[in-house]
Every structure is written in C-alpha cells, then in structure tokens.
Amino acid sequence: MAAPSDPMKPSVPISYPITDLETLNSRAYFDSFHYPFNISSVPLPAAAVVTPPRRRILVCHDFKGGYTDDDKWVQGGTNADAYAIWHWYLMDVFVYFSHYLVTLPPPGWINAAHTHGVKVLGTFITEWGKGREICNTLLATTESARTYAERLAELAYMLGFDGWLLNMEVSLHPQQIPILKEFVGHLTQTVHNVVPGSLVIWYDSVTMDGKLDYQNQLNEKNKPFFDLCDGIFCNYHWKENYPKDSGTVAGNRRFDVYMGIDVWGRGTYGGGQWNTVVSLDVLKNDDVSAAIFGPGWVYETQQLPDFQTAQNRWWCLVEKSWGVLQRYPNILPFYSNFDQGHGTHYSVGGFPLVDSSWNNMSCQGFQPVLDCKESSQSSMLVFNNFEDASYIGGGSITCKGSLNINDIFSTRLFLGQFTLEQSVSLNYYVKSDGNSQMGLKLSFSSNLNQITQVLLLPEAELPMDHLTSKYDRIIFAPRCSRQDLFLGSDWVQYESSLTMYGYTLTEVGLLCYFKKPVDDEPTFNASIGLIRLQISEQSIEFPSANSWITEGENISWSSNNEGLRTVSLKINWKLKEGTSKAFEAYNIYVQKVSNGLNRSDYGTASTAEFLATTKAGVYYISAFEVPIGVTDLIFVIQVFAVDGTFQELDQSPRYQLAVGGQ
C-alpha cells in the first residue's frame, strides 16, 4: 500500500512502507503524523540480544503483499479472523516482508515478537526494471551507498526493530559491486552500532559478477556478501547436498546460513506445504539454519478444518522436527493472559467491555506452548477459547472433555528457563463448572540435573494419593481473599508461594481433576484466564494520577450525518521527569460529563466507557460522537503494570476536554 495522500494530516494511524529513495533520504517519514504510532513499545529482552550459537529458524511472513487488515491499522482492526502468528517459541528471527522498496515492520508484529524474544527485521528490496533504476542511484557513489545505509539503520533504531533483510534481485554492472559491498558492510556496521543484537541478512540473489543468479547455497559467488553481514538467506531450490556444502563453506559461521524453504512448495526441497518438515529434517541433520518463507499458506489456502486448528497442526510439525527454541518464563515478573491479539470480546477483570470483533497483535500475551498432540489422541481437548468471557483480553485456555472420576489429565503451558534465587509467588485465575478443578504442575532442575516435580492445588484436599504420589512436593493455593477490581466475576483467583533456591524452573503445566465424584459420565470443563509468577512480596506501585502529563493535540470538531457533533484528537501521556516506571499497556476510557453535574466529583468506575487498549503512550480518537448536553469529555488512561495488574480507574491519569471550547 502507498503512503497516505497527505502523511502530515491527522487521520486514523496506519503502517505503510517507503516506496522511493527520495523519501528515504529526506527522512520525511519522521515528519509524518503516523510516525509516533508506528514506534514499537516492547524492547527486545536483554536475554535475546545475543544471537544464540546454534542452528536457528528465520520466518519470513510474505502474507498477501503485507500491510493487510491484520497489521495496517496500528491501533487495531475489526477482523477477529485476521492472520496472525502465535508460535513464536519455534523461531529466532521474524522478517516482515513485502515487495515495496523499504518495508517497515508494523508495531504489532514487533511487539508480539519481542515479547517472546524473537528479533524482527524489515526488508529492503530492489527488483525488476524500477529496482535497477533505484540501484543506479543507490550505488552511484560510495557516499550515496553509505548515506542510504545510514537512513535504513536510523529507521530500525527509531522504530524499534532489529535490522534488515537485503534483497537485491536485479542484475548490476560489475563496477557497481564494490559499492554494493560498501553498502552492505556499512549498513551492518551502522545498525550494529545503534541497535544492540541487530542483524543484516543477505538474500541469495545478485552474485559477485553482477548477475542475478540464484545459487541456492553459499559458495564463492555470494560469500563476499555473507562475509560483510550477519547471514545469508539462500534461495529455495537447493538440493540435498547443498546445506552440508554451505555449512562447510561457512566454516565457524555455519549457523548464519539460512536455507530457504518455500511453504507454498514452489521448487522447494521436499515440496513445502504439509511436507515442510522434510526439508527441516535435512537442515537439522546438517546443522545449518532454516528460513521458512510464506507460512501464511495455511491461512491463504484455507486449510481445513479452520485456521486455528490447521495453524497449530502445521507448527506442531515444525516443533516435532526442531523442538522448542524460545523458553519462558526466563525473567520475573512473568504473566500471561493467553491473548492471541484478536477476539469477539475484550475483557478486564473478567467482565467483557467490548462485545464485538477486534484484532491487535500488540495485545498478544505470552503464548502457551501447548502439548503437540492430535485431538484424537485424547478425550480431553485443550484449546484457545475465544467464545467464553476471558479474564483480560480476548481469550483463555480451556480444557474440556471426558475425564474419568479417578483420573487426572495434565498438559503443559510453558517451557521455562528461570533460576529461582528468591521466594516466588504464583497466582492464577480459573473459571469452571464448580467440580472441575485446575492445579499447576511445576518442574524444576537442579545443578546436578535432578528433576523435582511440584504440584500446586487449589484445594486443601488431595484428589487421589496414587495419582499425586509421583510429585515431590504438594503445595496448596487457597482462594485469594483480596477483592478484585470488579465484583461478581466468575473467575476465581488462587495464590500461593514457593521457595526453590538454586533450582531452574523448566516447565509450567495444568493438572485437571474432579473435586468430588459425580454420577453418570462426567464432563470436565474449566478455563485458565491468567497466570502470574513474581518475586514474593513484590508488587507494583502505580504513580498517582497527578504524576502524569496528559495532552490533547490535533483537536478537530465536526458534525456527522445525524447532526451530532464529533471530535477527533490525539492524546499523549507520559510520566513527569524524575518518575521512572515501566508499564505494560494502557486501557483508554471516556466519560461524558453532562450539564448540572459537578465535574470534580464526577465518578469514573461506574460511568466510564471503554474505547481501546494500546501499548503506546499515544492514541488517536477519530470522529467520536458527543451527545447533546455533554459539556466535557474526560479521557481516562488505565495503566497496566508488567505483572499484569492494573490501576483502578478512579486513581488513573486523565485528560479533560471541554466540548466545543466551553
């Protein structure tokens, strides 16, 4: 998609590419109204900055040309069935790809990937006749090559992503090759200087003699480019011996060779599609990295029976071949609300505040590493539930199915890598039919590789001794006595603490069982809506409302077709200087203050209307209808902490706008 007709004019924020060198060189993108909305909010975790010294998986999304309804609308869209990825634990690098000159990853993709420790790259591509003309300008002189490289590095730094895929799919004059090498080397060095852990990956296209000649491997024709950057993405038409040969050429950098796999199967080894694992197995055996191109094939070809099921099944095959690559929790506090970034409702505290379809990948919480099983293997189904009311966000994890009275069903939630040095508190929220119970099972390893199994149960009564005897410790998590923000929710909070000094948490799972025997054929039905691990006695203190600076900008009034006044505005908020706190997200509410009411005494908790959620410190409200008689609009920003707790509305920062300048 092209840039807005007037990028300087306020409008609903979108993500868009840069399509020409003039715009890139002028830095005009940073003057756009849309720029601040496209800055990612989630930094790459410190543990993920260093690229792991092992074979890796790079995923190149290439979904319908990019900038579709799943990610164009940076503040969220309305398509609950939009394409998304949630198997981040099976990859190391994600490339947002399209066929525009400079493809900038939308913030939702960056935020979701960074949450899970996955690096995100943009794409710089030149192709066809226009691409040849672009290269003539780009590579006109050494100075021009260095300038454009610096512009690309600046974009990565300012928007918060982790580098570039370079795709020079044009034939060049041999005299341009030295300048191209300068471009590659200078970009790599510059982006490394400003973005720790950043990567520049060269695509196997133009060779050292200037020809557009895909080698499908690393060899002497493309290795000089490989030597100047962080890796090579080899084209898809490789033969069985190419990965091994490429690894030999790479020497001690064999993991920087990413052998391409086209999921659509266009000339790729093994045929791609459901046979993608054939090529993955070869790369695993030859100990080089993989570059999976076009996993959106599952969505675009409408694989049966539905996208959720087909997507889980496809990535399950990847896991069976290569195993899990990202492990979490690896730092505390840790929490997950199991939100995939879409749904048909949006809840806070167990109460739906929105009863309509939405999508926003920035809302993705840590995704569970559910057991990789076919549904036919068990009478119990474990699935992401988007239909029932969630605790926070749009989803939860539900276990439902047949379970014998004397049996216990278990399934994993997370595979962790965190060493406990202090006492840890655990709490989780469950909604069930009353008799269906959910406990947590925790696995720890010691320095001596001894495994300790701990069971956290919500009741002070063991279900069955012979089924719990394999656990080394049983801990009870009584129902939490504290009041929730909202009263009357169906969700029940359980809380306990655990001390395992020096042990590493390796797995968090669910244990399902019945509280008491029942007649007939019992059906288990329970959901977990949130899980939280944090240092005991450590809680987040929210700054007071007057600790924030809130501002309204670009305020514009008009009338709609019904004669009602509407207002559009950008709201910014930030903590005052000297206040250093990091927050996870913000919910935006509005109150409509009518004539005759005391503005200072106007309540918030019972009168606020939910508008949206965001991870950024800025939000644009477009054409908001103001009923007759309303004198003021009070926009309330509810703050979410990094442990998943949220501030009460009455104590949250706000911005007050007089209607029509009153």
Q: What is the pLDDT of residue 478?
A: 87
Q: Is the model more confident about 167 or about 402?
A: 167
Q: What is the pLDDT of residue 406?
A: 77
Q: What is the pLDDT of residue 443?
A: 96
Q: What is the mean pLDDT of residues 548-573?
A: 93
Q: What is the pLDDT of residue 180?
A: 98
Give, in order, the Cα–Cα distances in Å from 346 to each of 11, 27, 354, 592. Answer: 24, 38, 5, 21
What rounded mean pLDDT belongs to the chain? 92
Q: What is the pLDDT of residue 387?
A: 94
Q: What is the mean pLDDT of residues 267-292?
A: 98
Q: Is the model more confident about 278 or about 458?
A: 278
Q: What is the mean pLDDT of residues 130-148?
A: 98
CATH 2.60.120.260 for domain 334-535, yes or no, is: yes
Assess whether pLDDT exceeds 90 at residue 652.
yes
Among 64-73, 96-105, 433-442, 568-577, the least confident range: 64-73
Assess whether pLDDT exceeds 60 at residue 133.
yes
Q: What is the pLDDT of residue 11?
A: 96
Predicted confidence band of residue 485 (pLDDT cuts 50, 70, 90): very low
The answer to whether 603 and 622 have CB atoms below 8 angstroms apart is no
Q: What is the pLDDT of residues 361-375, one digit of tens each?
A: 999 999 999 998 754
Q: What is the pLDDT of residue 236?
A: 97
Assess whether pLDDT exceeds 80 at residue 166.
yes
Q: What is the pLDDT of residue 277?
A: 97
CATH 3.20.20.80 domain span(s) along the chain: 21-322
Assess whether pLDDT exceeds 60 at residue 484.
no
Assess whether pLDDT exceeds 90 at residue 108.
yes
Q: What is the pLDDT of residue 603?
A: 52
Return d(Cα 629, Cα 47) in angstroms, integer: 54
Among 218-227, 312-321, 404-413, the least confident range: 404-413
What is the secondary structure of 608-646 as a DSSP string? PEEEEEESSSEEEEEEEEE-TTEEEEEEEEEEEETTS-B
Q: Choose among 545, 498, 534: nearest CA to 645.
A: 534
Assess whether pLDDT exceeds 50 at residue 401.
yes
Reading the block at residue 462, the tokens are 């063991």
Q: What is the mean pLDDT of residues 635-654?
A: 93
Q: What is the mean pLDDT of residues 410-422?
A: 94
Q: What is the pLDDT of residue 464?
A: 63
Q: What is the pLDDT of residue 463?
A: 58
Q: Is the model more confident about 510 or about 449?
A: 510
Predicted confidence band of residue 561 (pLDDT cuts 50, 70, 90): confident
Q: What is the pLDDT of residue 604?
A: 56
Predicted confidence band of residue 184 (pLDDT cuts 50, 70, 90): very high
Assess whether pLDDT exceeds 90 at residue 135.
yes
Percent of the chain whose predicted confidence (pLDDT) is above 90: 81
> Residue written as tokens 């290439």?
62
Q: Specify the CATH class of 21-322 in words.
A: alpha beta
Q: What is the pLDDT of residues 617-634, one digit of tens each?
A: 999 999 999 998 899 999
Beta strands in 131-272 (DSSP E): 163-169, 199-203, 231-234, 257-262
Query: Which pairing describes strands 492-498 and 565-575: parallel, antiparallel, or unpaired?
Result: unpaired
Supply the DSSP symbol for 9: S
Predicted confidence band of residue 662 (pLDDT cuts 50, 70, 90): very low
Tell me if residue 36 falls in helix, strand or coil: helix
Q: Is the model more confident about 615 or about 482?
A: 615
CATH 2.60.120.260 domain span(s) along the chain: 334-535
Q: What is the pLDDT of residues 328-357, one digit of tens each?
A: 999 999 999 999 999 999 999 998 999 999
Count of CB atoms situated within 10 Å of the CB of 304:
8
Please name the residues in contact with 324: beta carbons below 8 A apart, sequence gap of 6 or more: 89, 90, 369, 415
Whole-prediction pTM: 0.96
Q: What is the pLDDT of residue 12?
A: 96
Q: What is the pLDDT of residue 541?
A: 87
Predicted confidence band of residue 376 (pLDDT cuts 50, 70, 90): very low
CATH 2.60.40.10 for domain 545-658, yes or no, is: yes
